[in-house]
Structure 1
Amino acid sequence: MVLINWEKRKNPTKKEISDFAKENNVSDVLAEFLISRDLTEKSDIDDFIHADVTELQDPFGLHDMDKALEVIDDAVENGSKIAIYGDYDADGVTSTSIMKLTLQKLGVKPIFYIPDRFKDGYGPNLDVYKFLAEQNIDLLITVDNGVSGKDEIKYLKDQGIKVVVTDHHDLPDELPEADAIVHPTIPGSEYVCPYLSGAGVAFKIADALLGDDALELIDLAAIGTIADSVPLLGENRVIVTEGLKRMADNKHVGLGALIKKCKLKINQMTEEDVGFKIAPRINALGRLTNASSGVELLTTGDESFAKEIVDETEEINSKRQELVATAFNDSESQIAEQKDDGVLILKSDKWHQGILGIVASRAVDQENKPALVMQYDEESQLYKGSGRSPEGFNLFEALNAHHDLFASFGGHAQACGFSITKEGLEKLTPLLLEEPAKQSFNPEGSVTKYFDLNVAVKDLNFDLIKEISRLAPFGMGNPKPVLKLSNVSLSQVKSIGKDGTHLKASVTDGQQQVGAIGFGMYPKAEAMNTDIVDVYGELGINEWAGRKNLQMMLDDFEVSSEGLKINQLQDVYFDYRNKQISGAILDKFDAVVFFNETYYEAASRSHPKVKLIMYNESCDGQNILIYDRPHNLDLFKEFIKNNKTKHVALYFHTDLTNRYLKPDMIAMKSFLKYLYTHQNIKADGMDLVAEYLGYKKNDIDFYLKVFFELDFVKMVNGFVEKANASQQRELIESPTYLKRLQRNDVEKILIESDFGDLLSWMSDYDCHC
């Protein structure tokens, strides 16, 4: 289990929040969210909150856009044969689809090629380029790749074929000699939004070629942008916001069929729907088969054909989920065997190559260690695999230090792909295990995560959801706000999911509660040894059977500082409040403590051999039993502040058969009115008054004593009469009333509360904490 260290993203003061809110005409909650994201300038706040289509940037700000249009326009005008070369992930599939639909709108019928993950690999492939050249193409347009294809593109250029590269990946040392390279980070021509996805770049080409008509493709660009986990800032926010908004209007038959299959509402799509439902299904195609069917799906106008592809896609995605689950379950024994190693090396000859990266990611999430996951390919006699690493460990650097051992290798700091012989892996393993120490990476150390706002359960409402939604869409660079609820409890804990590892619970402060789901968190909840926790998660809405309820998606929970105190107190205090106490039991304690002299004197006569002391005598270091209850809480607070006992049994005996009376204001007023409107009522005749009014006699006696103390009534010749009080009096000015309130507090906290709540209250005063 990864240890998480939670820190607040920013800590503005209440005044800073209030001033910011007034200055920018937003709520205090939204103000704190904006401050935590360093959005402090009015123009930036406006652009962020009100991202819309008017904020789309000039596409000609991208490097070589003018050259790309010239080449494409010329090809269209001359009826040239155009091919699109894409990629097999969701960004590549949507990029290819955008480019294909754009050219079709210009009257061109392009061919497209999606490389096969297993046969062609990622990026430009010379054999494929030769195949395309044999198809007599005149122009190749790459989408979501190509910038690293220097040699492959040179081959096409030598064949007289023009090449337009559209890409967003890291730039190589030397760019290819293409006719145009449309890329957001070319040095000297950096685009205003440098983190466009491949689909985002393809959309900008469409924007330049089609103008406003390109907006019919922005929903596909939104899918690619979300799927590729690029920062949702700047123009990317506009693409995603507008794309989600227009999904219902753009009438892409295949996308509509896919959304329907996922049981989503096309007119209420969110970035989470795309990220967790749509994108994984498109990605599954490239993981297990060829992703060309994904392009066919997103570009077809045939509903029956679209349904066939969607059904096939659903089957492939289900298969992908099964393969991942099986492979990860298989890997658990290897993970356990390598528990002392700083890098996980997981291998099998049975795992599917297409899901190795997902398994590696799960292993990293679970263990906070770099993980290489590989499958042995009999045909090539190579291990082919994927690697992932947590923040703080540079996987590319670690592997590149031994690049001579690989048959092939590529990637970046947190992810890589590779192939290696058995002999190479044997040599690599001990060398790789030395890398964490070289990078001063401690896999056993904590991972720092951030929360945005401290809230109480009572603060969770639909208004808060509305304020949070103003920051949407959420994703890389703009995470959904994480809320912290301190000193709460997890109640109604249930195990859910196929493997029973997921948690369903309620987060409660004892007064109010909200439902919660925590993926993979049930074992942690079961292992908790205290009810008092701090909870971290995102607030959302669970809609079921037409009803909407608030729901927390848990990121983590941990024993709170108060919970730690309670754990300490549980070793000291024992709940004897409902037990029968005998003399033999009393004799087991070093001392028995009393708060009331009456009980002390009675016990002295009944148990002469037991050491009995009053509450104001020291009992440091002793095992004691507190026999009776104090008349007020201050006495008990002082006692637990000043006595560091070994163990304490809390008995809190009383002779009262009824619980302490809670004064009934309405009854008191009615009784006083009765006294004022009736004459000749004797003090010793109050039992008849009680019977007439339907009150208990002890209640009447209490009320009457309070009235005498406050000069509301007086005694004249044995009769109760109205007094001539000259000033307004408060009930708490009556010693009897005040004492009753204090006893009520004692009853509520020391007697009526459950033991956990009692220890929680005590933790603020007890000297053991």
Structure 2
Amino acid sequence: MTVGDFLTEINWEKRKNPTKQVIDEFAKDKKIDPIVAELLLERDITEPADIETFLHAGVDELQDPFELHDMDKALELIDQAIESEAKIAIYGDYDADGVTSTSIMKLALQKLGAKPIFYIPDRFKDGYGPNLARYKFLADQGIDLLITVDNGVSGKDEIKYMKDRGVKVIVTDHHDLPAELPEADAIVHPTIPGSEYVCPYLSGAGVAFKIADALLGDEALELIDLAAIGTVADSVALKGENRVIVTEGLKQMKQNHHVGLTALIKKCKLKVNGISEEDIGFKLAPRINALGRLENASSGVELLTTGDKSFAKEIVDETEDINTRRQELVNTAFADAQSQINAQKDHGVIVLKGNKWHQGILGIVASRTMDQENKPVLATQFDENSGVMKGSGRSPEGFNLFTALNKYNDLFVAFGGHAQACGFSIEEAQLDKLTELLQAEPKEQGFDPQAPVVKKYDLALNITELNFDLIKKINQLAPFGMGNPKPVVKLTNVSLAQPRSIGKDATHLKTMIADGNRQIGAIGFGMFAKSQTIKNSVCDVYGELGINEWAGKKNLQMMLDDFQISPQAKKIAALRQVYLDYRNKRLSSEVMGHFDNIVFFNETYYEAAKRANIKAKLIHYDEECDGNNILIYDRPHSLELFENFIKKNKTKYTALLFHTDLTGTYLKPDMIKMKTLLKYLYTHQNIQAERMDLVAEYLKLQKNDIDFYLKVFFELNFVKIVNGFVEKADASQQRELTESPTYLKRLQRNDVEKILIESNFDDLLSWMSDYDCHC
């Protein structure tokens, strides 16, 4: 992510809103923790069988591979080829799914004694999918059987060519089906009409693994870690059998069956025993993908299938260099693109030209720009070999890029893709024409690029609820990915303390999230600049909870997705423009004369101000204010009076003084002291009302407390005064203390003291925001 990712406004919504009662009943019924229950309810996983397989995915949940279309035909062809020592070629793809698919197929065939060759298309020379020139090359090598992995279903003409040359063809793929299927000898695919597989969202590596499963049985589990990499890398839904593949694949990585994978894990500074799906997605897969973006990805297959540690180390070192170069190229290109992006702020679709950009990183540049601007983006580069512009497109949810571009299909030299991503070739003059035509497409599709992005959070918690046990509960739903996103936690009304910039370019944020009682560390990629725009503001924070381990010590850490000034903080900021804190000021008559109106809640202070000849207009709290700037002079006797006043007070500026001549604070009545005094009065005679100071001294109570309690007792008919002596009254019924006007007034004054006087100004404004007419 980059700092630009957070220029787009995000509207956060709860994924679903089951009530606490529903969550608790569901948790009790299913015998699971309420946190796990809430997350399952949000994902519509409610049936006992579904809950069991979701939370406890294991090898027993692997499906019969022969349920896949043409699996029996594929195995028969492979068996025949191996028995006859026929020459087998595997045709893969240059991304991580294609590389792992090719590796799985190669290793599975080798376990059966075959010696297959493989071919990974070159992104720049061959393009994606079947390439007729490369098929001719393989046919000329005398191959007898061609097995495609992670591609092939769209290669009707190319496969016909191979069939005409007498080559048997097995297509294994998972991509969207074309209108007409190729005439291959077998097509192993999870969504063939009439033969839909129970897990229709297998990756290319997942399909290859199922063939390995059919060929090898339990021994195929040694290859499930490679299938896990392809599954995570290709962003297929982590549901059903895909959850099993990733879960068991992560376990299998601990066995170190693959020398090259172990070397790659070590290079990424990961612990084999603690690898997660996030490590695959953010560390392992990007390095494998980098090979196909900048070089030829064949070395990726060599890495994952070699048994030579020295050779593996050489490839890993080369892979790391390529990945570093890929990162540098992306950062340079994206920075270079900013001027073009700024120049197209008013465009509905952004089209970027970078003649010095590397073709292999165009998709990443388009994706980053899309995240930054929330608009469809085409990133292009002039290809000197072909003399045309090569491009890659990305679009946000809500805009169908394929539909928009397919309208102008005649402008392209080549074009293909789907709703959110595409690739194409186009002449530069036609690109300029296309750019102009595309600007009408967002409106055509009802897509508003200026509208806030809507994202989902899962759990609304307090910082005090965050702990290691919570992480364990959340991780019961792992592995996370497409179709099962990692739960996002929302923390409300917190602050970002000690923010500082980190990273090579100082754009990343390291901070502490605090709420006054507790704090936890947080990291926000590309968020430092944003943090500087909300200094000292109360925020709502969104992110994923994790563990940061450093020097053998583990601490909770949140990976930030977003932070926003909280709605309450916005209200407080607005009220700060209206109200001024004068509570600790001493004001002279001259200063008070500068106000248009001075408002009084107490008649005593009102009369005293009249005698002082203050120039300002003096009014009672229930009179109409006709000034722009007013001063509230004294304290109301109850909060209700002040609430009603600020509901109607529309003046531009209001200073809050809240003066009183009382020196003590309004302490809450002490029930124990009241009972002690009442018991004493009931058990002693001849107590003179005028000598209550002696009682106070004896009971070690304050005289003003004694006077207050005694007045309450009189009002409730607990005691009476007869001839100057305090006696027990003949109370006929039980009375509540709040029936005493004196007691009730004291409670009201306590509330006034606590909220209007003792609170800090932001807390006071926060309370006022519930009633004030300016909010």
Give how far 1:224 is off. 0.5
1:590 lines up with 2:590 in the alignment: no
For residue 768 of structure 1, the aligned residue among 746, 763, 774 is: 774
For residue 73 of structure 1, the aligned residue among 79, 91, 102 is: 79
The answer to whether the Cα contact below 8 Å between 2:468 and 2:556 also exists between their aligned partners in 1 is: yes
Q: 1:363-374 residue pairs with structure 2 within 5 A? A: 363-374=369-380
Q: Which residue of 2 is the match for residue 751 of structure 1?
A: 757
What is the distance in 1 between the residues matched to 2:552 and 2:668?
43
Give how far 1:467 is off. 2.7
What is the distance in 2 between the residues matched to 1:388 and 1:95?
25
Please tell me the residue identity of whatever aligns with 1:519.
F
Distance 1:608 1:399, change over 3 A: closer
Q: Which residue of 2 is the match for residue 95 of structure 1?
A: 101
Q: Which residue of 2 is the match for residue 581 of structure 1?
A: 587
Residue by residue over 1:47-88, the C-alpha shift from the partner in whole angstroms, topping out at 9 and shown as x without a partner, is 212211100000001111111111111122222222221111
SS in 2 for 1:247: helix
For residue 273 of structure 1, the aligned residue among 267, 279, 291 is: 279
Q: 1:259-338 residue pairs with structure 2 within 5 A? A: 259-338=265-344
For residue 703 of structure 2, the aligned residue among 701, 704, 708 is: 701
What is the distance in 1 between the residues matched to 2:405 and 2:212?
39
Give how far 1:461 is off. 3.5
Q: Which residue of 1 is the match for residue 145 of structure 2?
A: 139
What is the distance in 1 between the residues matched to 2:453 and 2:617?
53
Give how far 1:262 is off. 1.9
Please tell me the residue identity of whatever aligns with 2:702.
I
Gaps in structure 2 of 5+ consecutive residues: 1-6
Give the aligned CA root-mean-square deviation in angstroms.
Answer: 3.4
Distance 1:53 1:338, change over 3 A: same
Please tell me the residue identity of whatever aligns with 1:219.
D
What is the distance in 2 between the residues matched to 1:164 and 1:285?
26
SS in 2 for 1:285: helix
Deviates more, 1:229-238 or 1:15-24: 15-24
SS in 1 for 2:477: coil
What is the distance in 2 between the residues matched to 1:313 and 1:74?
37
The answer to whether the Cα contact below 8 Å between 2:578 and 2:653 also exists between their aligned partners in 1 is: yes
Give how far 1:347 is off. 0.7
Residue by residue over 1:223-265, the C-alpha shift from the partner in whole angstroms, topping out at 9 and shown as x without a partner, is 1000000011111111111111221024322222222222222
Please tell me the residue identity of whatever aligns with 2:428.
K
Give how far 1:678 is off. 13
Deviates more, 1:553-562 or 1:347-356: 553-562
Deviates more, 1:668-677 or 1:178-187: 668-677
Deviates more, 1:344-353 or 1:455-464: 455-464
Give how far 1:666 is off. 9.2
The answer to whether the Cα contact below 8 Å between 1:21 and 1:31 also exists between their aligned partners in 2 is: yes
Distance 1:351 1:659, change over 3 A: farther
Distance 1:573 1:593, change over 3 A: same
What is the distance in 1 between the residues matched to 2:557 and 2:732?
57
Q: Which residue of 2 is the match for residue 645 of structure 1?
A: 651
What is the distance in 2 between the residues matched to 1:208 and 1:514?
49
The answer to whether the Cα contact below 8 Å between 1:457 and 1:485 also exists between their aligned partners in 2 is: yes
Give how far 1:720 is off. 11
Distance 1:18 1:225, change over 3 A: same
The answer to whether the Cα contact below 8 Å between 2:597 and 2:627 also exists between their aligned partners in 1 is: no
Q: Which residue of 1 is the match for residue 249 of structure 2?
A: 243
Q: Which residue of 2 is the match for residue 197 of structure 1?
A: 203
Deviates more, 1:91-100 or 1:649-658: 649-658
SS in 1 for 2:239: coil
SS in 2 for 1:391: coil
Deviates more, 1:58-67 or 1:138-147: 138-147
Residue by residue over 1:537-586, the C-alpha shift from the partner in whole angstroms, topping out at 9 and shown as x without a partner, is 33333333333333333333444443443344233212223444233321
Distance 1:34 1:9, change over 3 A: same
Deviates more, 1:31-40 or 1:266-275: 31-40
Q: 1:551-700 residue pairs with structure 2 within 5 A? A: 551-619=557-625, 622-655=628-661, 661=667, 684=693, 700=702
SS in 2 for 1:140: strand
What is the distance in 2 between the residues matched to 1:27 and 1:643?
49
For residue 541 of structure 2, the aligned residue among 525, 535, 539 is: 535
Paired-residue identity, %? 72
Please tell me the residue identity of whatever aligns with 2:179.
D
Deviates more, 1:216-225 or 1:266-275: 266-275
The answer to whether the Cα contact below 8 Å between 1:708 and 1:714 also exists between their aligned partners in 2 is: no
The answer to whether the Cα contact below 8 Å between 2:27 and 2:33 also exists between their aligned partners in 1 is: yes
Residue by residue over 1:434-477, the C-alpha shift from the partner in whole angstroms, topping out at 9 and shown as x without a partner, is 32233232222233323334334444334433332222111111
What is the distance in 1 between the residues matched to 2:681 and 2:375?
79
Please tell me the residue identity of whatever aligns with 1:469.
N
What is the distance in 2 between the residues matched to 1:447 and 1:303?
47
Residue by residue over 1:26-61, the C-alpha shift from the partner in whole angstroms, topping out at 9 and shown as x without a partner, is 233333322222222222222212211100000001
The answer to whether the Cα contact below 8 Å between 1:626 and 1:652 also exists between their aligned partners in 2 is: yes
Q: 1:337-348 residue pairs with structure 2 within 5 A? A: 337-348=343-354
SS in 1 for 2:254: coil
Please tell me the residue identity of whatever aligns with 1:502.
H
Give how far 1:672 is off. 11
What is the distance in 1 between the residues matched to 2:137 and 2:746?
94
Please tell me the residue identity of whatever aligns with 1:288.
L
Give how far 1:409 is off. 1.6
Question: TM-score, with normalisation over the residues of structure 2?
Answer: 0.89
SS in 2 for 1:746: helix
Residue by residue over 1:505-559, the C-alpha shift from the partner in whole angstroms, topping out at 9 and shown as x without a partner, is 4444444444433333344443349934443333333333333333333333444
Please tell me the residue identity of whatever aligns with 1:756.
D
Gaps in structure 1 of 5+ consecutive residues: 694-698
Give how far 1:670 is off. 11
Greater relative CO (CA pairs within 8 A, separation 6+): 2
What is the distance in 2 between the residues matched to 1:85 and 1:441?
39
Distance 1:675 1:15, change over 3 A: closer
Number of residues of Structure 1 aligned to a counterpart in Structure 2: 762
Distance 1:741 1:198, change over 3 A: same
SS in 2 for 1:357: helix
Please tell me the residue identity of whatever aligns with 1:103.
L
What is the distance in 2 between the residues matched to 1:747 and 1:244?
60
Q: Which residue of 1 is the match for residue 63 of structure 2?
A: 57
What is the distance in 2 between the residues matched to 1:667 and 1:264?
65
Deviates more, 1:331-340 or 1:550-559: 550-559
Give how far 1:713 is off. 11
SS in 1 for 2:380: strand
What is the distance in 2 between the residues matched to 1:424 and 1:435?
17
Q: Which residue of 1 is the match for residue 14 of structure 2?
A: 8
SS in 1 for 2:366: helix
What is the distance in 1 between the residues matched to 2:357 and 2:67?
45
1:151 lines up with 2:157 in the alignment: yes
For residue 460 of structure 2, the aligned residue among 437, 454, 458 is: 454
Q: Which residue of 2 is the match for residue 696 of structure 1?
A: none
1:227 lines up with 2:229 in the alignment: no
What is the distance in 2 between the residues matched to 1:161 and 1:89?
26
Q: Which residue of 2 is the match for residue 352 of structure 1?
A: 358
Give how far 1:689 is off. 7.8
Distance 1:752 1:327, change over 3 A: farther
Q: Which residue of 2 is the match for residue 466 of structure 1?
A: 472
Question: TM-score, with normalisation over the residues of structure 1?
Answer: 0.90
Deviates more, 1:226-235 or 1:719-728: 719-728
Residue by residue over 1:469-490, the C-alpha shift from the partner in whole angstroms, topping out at 9 and shown as x without a partner, is 2221111111222333444444
Residue by residue over 1:706-738, the C-alpha shift from the partner in whole angstroms, topping out at 9 and shown as x without a partner, is 554576999999999999999999987887776
Please tell me the residue identity of whatever aligns with 1:444.
Q
Please tell me the residue identity of whatever aligns with 1:303.
K
